[in-house]
Amino acid sequence: MSTTTKVDLLIVGAGPVGLFGAYYAGVRGLSTAVVDSLSQVGGQVTAMYPEKQIFDIAGFPAISGRQLISNLVEQAAPYDPQYLLGQEAQGLEHVPDGEGRERLVVTTSTADTIDAGAVIVTGGIGTFTPRTLPAGEDFLGRGLEYFVPSSAEYAGQDVVIVGGGDSAVDWANMLHPIAKSVTLVHRRDKFRAHHGSVEQMEAAPVEVVLNAQVTETNGGDLLETVTITPKGEDPRSLPCTKLVAALGFTANLGPLREWGVELHDNRHLVVDPAMRTNVAGVFSAGDITDYDGKVRLIAVGFGEVATAVNNAAVHIDPDAQLFPGHSTDQQPAVPQPA
């Protein structure tokens, strides 16, 4: 049975930027709903590197992805945002509110509707789907994985990681202390990953095989071995009980393309300095946005979403102040009763 949720502000995307937006909307006294196609909060951080240490979050010399998301949820909790998870934001309709203004009604993939005064899109890269490893698809869920949400199940395993980007190298560095063996297979001779991470991996007990591909997977109910074929060399078999395909992912803005929002490179939402899109009442922040000089960092997204929330507050109520004052001037939020 479909439901209708009425709030001041709808945030599309429950990654770090969206979660901070939920907190900041609470500071502005706005009731907030957060919708996300994933079944849990945290976006790419939760799905791809929850145990990875993040070093560029202000105030934290290092913090794991999992702890960052937990802290952001705790920070927003006193303002009681509504999380609408496992559903994709789809249709957008402008509806007169009877007082000479418009509200935005968003329909989700579960046929629910959210009636909001403004919308902030913080969807990161949109809906993301991992690029598949054709040679291993038969063992998906039986040895082949595309993400490493937890390192525990890799303890004592023979692990083969395919890829040359940040995720592949980060997972090699994360897993080699606990795995029986870790081999990284990359089809090129150069890495896209951060140079420091590559140096760390090369100094670790990780076998790195370049200019090679995984061409075959074998086993019974579970994966047991893989065949790798280096360019110009004979194939060889490796023991492998866990195969991680870190081949990147394809991003899809999906139904957001139908909202009439101006796009850059057909993948990013163009915003002005107030984080407004060209569609009235629709703002955006985080990696999904684009403007001259854009830098895609979580730290940047936090500032962008605070700007978006403040400007959305004025859009909802033109008599509201753009700058709400400093948090130190306010009474601390009181946790909502369970």
Question: Residues marked as binding?
Answer: 36, 44, 49, 89, 128, 287, 328
- Residues annotated within a binding site for FAD: 36, 44, 49, 89, 128, 287, 328
Q: Which amino acid is it at 273?
A: P
Secondary structure letter of residue 187 according to DSSP: S
Q: Identify whether the C-beta of residue 221 lies closer than 8 Å to the C-beta of residue 195.
A: no
How many other CB atoms are found less than 10 A from the CB of residue 318?
Answer: 8
CA nearest to 20, candidates 84, 74, 83, 85: 74
Sequence-ordered list of residues with C-beta below 8 angstroms from that of 329, at least 6 positions apart, any chain: none
Please state, in angstroms and as integers, the Cα–Cα distance from residue 328 to each residue in 27, 324, 331, following that order. 11, 11, 8
Strand runs (DSSP E) across 60-126, as ranges? 63-64, 82-85, 89-96, 102-108, 113-121
DSSP string, 7-74: EEEEEE--SHHHHHHHHHHHHTT--EEEEESSSSTTHHHHHH-TTSEE--BTTBS-EEHHHHHHHHHH
Phi, psi of 283 (to 5 degrees): -115, 170
In Å, the largest CA–CA distance within the chain is 74
| Single-letter amino acid code for the residue at 90 | Q
What sections of the chain are H helices per DSSP?
16-27, 43-48, 65-76, 166-175, 195-202, 298-316
